[in-house]
Structure 1
Amino acid sequence: MRNRNILALTLAAAATLAAVPAALPAVAATPANSRAHSAHCPQLSKKLTWHGDNRARLQRMIDERGRCSNPRLGHDHKRPVAAFDWDNTVAKNDVTDATIAWSLRHDKILRPKSWKSTSKWMTDAADRALTEACGTEVPVGKPLPTSKNTACADEIFEIREDGKTMSGAAAFAGEWDHRHTVPQYAWVPQLFAGHTVPELESYAAKARKEALAAPIGATQTVGTHELPGYVRYYNQQRDLIRTLKKAGFDVYIVSAGSEPVAEVWSRSVGIDRAHTIAIRSVLDRRGRITTWNQGCGDVPVNKGEAIPYIDGKRCFINQEIFKVKGKSAWQKQDWDHRIALGSGDADTDVTFVGDATGAHLVLNRNKSEFMCRAYDNADSRWVVNPMFIEPMPRKSGTYPCSTAAYNEHDGRKGPVLRDDGSVVPDQRDSVY
């Protein structure tokens, strides 16, 4: 287990650098290799269905950046890096929700001394709602009976899901950078304060077993909330990760979930702890999770101000993979210090996927900022695919790229801009 302590965590990551630049975009033909040579390069399975020519485009990128064109990768050549979001990118549905749901149904949330202490942004209204619903009879640090107390389970899940109480009051208030964090995401590992990492991993493993066994389309009920009851690994993404690794890429998961949960799931696609980046909780002297988490760039250990979320994913990639320190970790790096392939499904992923120099793989979930970038396709390297299981229907109308798709730092919505400052025009949904 990664060494963790009360003030800081040992941030485990391979000391890797970005891909060797390619002179041509990912959609270009591979000039350096004959067809005979290409046939011996690690190949994506042709038995798995991709949209349009996406498989061929990804294969060309793998051939150009991997061992097929650079046989000495890992020796005197730096290995290219690929980074994937997890929820709804590598697996269908949200494994954090699955873990929380399992924990609520099995009485695994411990009563905090005060709910207000669990998040620096929690409102008085949310504190009152949680206190009234969950009661004060259970001693501090003991499990809440959420399997039977529907009201308590409802308040916890509603705040996690929508940042509101069951009555509709805002659960979080104050100031935060909306491209660095979102309080209800940061609240998830804080909910598990008092548990050890092995305990949380065991809950995630049990939730995983249950979710994988449930049929596609199954639902479950938590309190009065109905949510997906199943999770599936996407075979296409598993195959892509396998092929990338065979071709010499360093492959990482970068998730806005709790790291112990992400690690339980990522190992089944061949990605170890050192290559799994998520919210890393600080532990107390007894090895128990606290409400503090590891920082990034110029943000030290904190209460949720910096997590792998939108620009925060770039920061953690720059810091953990490319060893960029301080404030610079929040900035877009030069070609040699950027990932070759990035893959995601939501606005949470738009910055790090956009940083990729070889291919930006997008699973369409109708998220405005992300799809504006994808359909604008400014560098001809954006690869858009419907979700592989239960894809979203076509979005009606257009994405409001020119007016209200960009997530501003202060929480407002604005126009999506290209690197040259020009405005991305509104886009129609075409891959669904």
Structure 2
Amino acid sequence: MTTPTPPASPRLIDDARWDPLVRIRLEAFLASCARELAVAPGHDDAPFAVFDWDHTLFHGDIGDALFLHMVKNHGFFRPETWQDTSLFLTHEAVDALAGLTPRDSARLPGPGGSGLAREMVSIYLHHRTSGGAAAFSGFNPETTHPSYAWCASLLAGHTPAQVADLTHEVMVHLFNRPVGITGELAGLHGWADWARPATPMINLATRLQAAGVPVWIVSASPQHVVETCARHVGLDPVRVIGVRSRLASDGRLLSRLETCGGHDGVIPYDLGKRCWIQRIICGRTDPCLERSDDQTRARLWFAAGDSDGDLAFLQDATRLRLVIAHRDNRAVGLATGNEDGRWLVNPPFFGA
């Protein structure tokens, strides 16, 4: 019996932005995956890899950028009530939004809606009304980021194709902006108004797939937004898990979101990412999917992320974990400490 010949070791593109030691470890890992999976590919408990999207495969935050684009261009459909747009908006936030909503505009913020625009941006970015009141309450911070869920809910009334078109508009805008420029809207300012694909990370994802490890993108940005981004950079949109909206009978998005593990409001964020990974990738349907599972961990060979919202699935990866040091946080601290020798940390590919 002839032993299968392992494929040539997948190598990363030459890019000086890789830390040299990180690159060496990654290429050794790719080679070991190729050798091992050439002998035993395609079994039911096959390995997989998980990448975050924002600030990992993409230098920027596409969910934030889409929200701000929609506010600036009056892109959101008017909800029947603001309570419908989030499980977690406080009464103070609902009252502030309702008091500034134009009565005769089907789109929001609408002409003359600068006050509403400012309120929406303040609530989204700072979790406070412009008057300083808390905008969200009653959520579990380990499974939900309320702003990210709110952004997905506010896309209600659009079709997935329309969301894809809007995402393309946002990407064109961001890619044409100079690196480092900030945005301003309704008197508020300071957020990044540019983005770029993180080409070395996208290359790493494609090399993992070439080595036989399917790559999934798990993101707290809206599902159809991240699918569009994945398709744009040549990754499979079928293997995307984002914040998922329920669909109406006519195919349009509803404000209600899909959830995971039998609890309302669980989106792909921190422990919620673990839940969605186990539900969608591993096919589990039991409750308490936010808990780590040995079978899932055994299959999750590689994980890459940048934030504490990625920490659960980063810790679950059993062979190698890569953290992009976008900001100082627990994930960077764990990667730098590297207690079990399986953590890697690399600087961002376009600065902080």
| TM-score, scaled relative to structure 1 | 0.75
Distance in 2 of aligned mates of 1:308 and 1:387:
22
Kindly state the Cα deviation for residue 96 of structure 1 after the two structures are TM-superposed: 0.9
Judged with a 3 Å threshold, the aligned counterparts in structure 2 of structure 1 residues 176 and 246 are, in CA distance, closer, same or farther, namely same
Aligned residue in 1 for 2:319? 358
Match of 1:312 in 2: 272
Number of residue pairs the alignment of both structures matches: 346
Secondary structure of residue in 1 paired with 2:289: helix
Q: Which runs of 5+ in 2 are unaligned?
A: none
CA drift of 1:133 comes to 2.3
Q: Match of 2:167?
A: 204
Shift of 1:375: 2.5
The equivalent position to 2:291 in structure 1, one of 321, 326, 331, is 331
For residue 91 of structure 2, what is the amino acid of its counterpart? D
Q: Alpha-carbon deviations, 1:363-400, whole Å to 9, x = none?
A: 11334322232233221111011111113xxxxxxxxx
SS in 1 for 2:117: helix
Helix, strand or coil at the partner of 1:71: helix
SS in 2 for 1:53: helix
1:349 alignment counterpart? 310
- Aligned counterpart, 1:119: 86
* Matching residue within 107, 129, 143 for 2:107: 143
**Pair 77,286 (structure 1): closer, same or farther in 2 beyond 3 Å:** closer
Query: Counterpart of 2:244?
Result: 280
What are the residue-to-residue correspondences of 1:235-250 with 2, within 5 Å? 235-250=199-214
CA contact (8 A) 1:197 1:260 kept: yes
147 and 270 in structure 1: CA distance in 2 versus 1, 3 angstrom threshold: farther
1:190, distance to aligned residue in structure 2 (A): 1.0
What secondary structure does 1:198 align onto? helix
Does the 8 Å CA contact 1:48/1:235 hold for their aligned counterparts?
no
Task: Please report the RMSD computed on the Cα atoms of aligned residues, expressed in angstroms.
Answer: 2.1
Are residues 73 and 155 of structure 1, via their aligned partners in 2, closer, same or farther at CA, if it must alter by over 3 Å? farther
- Determine the structure 2 residue equivalent to 1:61: 29
Q: Which moved more, 1:116-125 or 1:347-356?
A: 116-125
- For each residue in 1:147-179, what CA deviation from the matched residue of structure 2 results, as whole angstroms up to 9, or x when unmatched? 653221111111111211112111112x33221
Picking from 214, 223, 233, the partner of 1:259 is 223
**2-structure distance, mates of 1:38, 1:50:** 26
Q: Deviations over 1:289-316 (max 9, x none)?
A: 11211121233xx4xx110010010111
Q: Which residue type is aligned with residue 146 of structure 2?
A: P
Aligned to 2:144: 181
Maintained 8 Å contact 1:338/1:355 = no
Q: Deviations over 1:384-426 (max 9, x none)?
A: 11111113xxxxxxxxxxxxxxxxxxxxxxxxxxxxxxxxxxx
In structure 1, C-alpha distance between the alignment counterparts of 2:233 and 2:220, rounded to whole Å: 18
How far apart are the structure 1 equivalents of 2:112 and 2:170? 19
Partner SS state of residue 327, structure 1: coil
Residue from 193, 198, 216 that aligns with 1:229: 193
Determine whether 1:220 maps to 2:220: no
Structure 2: distance between partners of 1:306 and 1:376: 30
List structure 1 runs of 4+ shifted beyond 6 angstroms.
Answer: none
Helix, strand or coil for the counterpart of 1:136?
A: coil
For structure 1, the 5+ residue unaligned runs are 1-36, 392-432
Give deviations 1:186-244, integer Å, cap 9, x for gaps: 11111111222222221111111111122212233222222222110112101101211
The answer to which structure has the higher helix fraction is 2
Query: How far has the Cα of 1:146 moved from its partner?
Result: 4.2
What's the counterpart of residue 38 of structure 2?
A: 71
- Aligned-partner SS, 2:78: coil
Q: Calculate percent identity across the aligned residue pairs.
A: 30
Does the aligned pair in 2 maintain the 1:96–1:257 contact within 8 Å?
A: yes
The Cα shift of 1:112 comes to 1.1
Match of 2:330 in 1: 369
Q: State the partner residue of 2:73.
A: 106
Query: TM-score, structure 2 length as denominator?
Result: 0.92
> How many Å separate the matches in 2 of 1:38 and 1:147?
62
AA of the residue aligned to 1:69: E
